[in-house]
A = this chain, B = another copy of it.
Amino acid sequence: MALKNKSMYAILGILNISPSTGYDIKKYSDNVLSGFWNENFGHIYPTLKMMLEDGMIEIASGEINEKKVRYGITEKGKRELETWLLEDTMQQPVRSEFMLKLLFSSNQPKENVIRMLESYKEIHEKNMEKYLGMLKDLEHGIQEISKERAGFIKAVLRRGILSGEATIRWCNETIEEMQHS
């Protein structure tokens, strides 16, 4: 066990929705999954190759092309995905470079620290706007998504929004404290 290729599960989950090319998988990550998941080509293509050899995915019929390959999930792949969904999720390693920097900034001039916090806050405000926009699009049914799945996407977006709010509140609180000390 131990070291496992998590991209594999992201790919299985995406192909379980609809057959896709490596490029489509990347786009899905950057759009729908952005905020809590990321993939990059350097990992997608080798993983697809491995999964094809393993029989978890297959080349989708009628789409075979020299320069464009669309993959679909197999029965074996579906079983693999199901097993993973039912497994307990171990906690992942975290690395927030911003928080690390902040912790080591006690000797820095206060203005610098406040500037850091302001720009961090701005990033999270922009994220919030993005999430709120995505939530609106989802509620107005712009895309063709099943009601069930839309509910889950909504839950994930709600998480992003609540986390963002907490982060912005913390930024304000911490800036305030920096100013009065």
Among B85, B165, B170, B181, contact of A104 (Cβ-Cβ < 8 Å)? B85
Assess whether A169 is interfacial by the CB under 8 Å rule: yes
* B residues less than 8 Å from A153 (CB atoms): 103
Q: Interface digits, A153-173 against B, CB 8 Å rule (1 contact, 0 not)?
A: 101101100110111011001
Chain A residues bordering chain B, tally (CB within 8 A): 62
Stretch at the interface among A29-37, A49-57, A60-68, A130-138: A29-37
> 11 A-B Cβ contacts within 8 A?
A13-B103, A38-B93, A85-B105, A89-B116, A102-B152, A103-B152, A105-B152, A106-B146, A107-B148, A158-B170, A162-B170
Given contacts A85-B104, A102-B152, is CB(A37)–CB(B173) below 8 Å? no
* B residues less than 8 Å from A88 (CB atoms): 119
* A116-B84 Cα distance, complex, nearest whole Å: 12
* B residues less than 8 Å from A97 (CB atoms): 6, 9, 89-90, 92
Q: Which 5 A-B pairs have the closest CB atoms?
A: A13-B104, A166-B166, A36-B99, A36-B96, A106-B149
Q: How far is the CB of A3 from chain B (nearest CB, A)?
A: 11
Assess whether A140 is interfacial by the CB under 8 Å rule: no
- Nearest B residue to A98 via CB reads B89
* B residues less than 8 Å from A93 (CB atoms): 38
* B residues less than 8 Å from A99 (CB atoms): 36-37, 156, 159
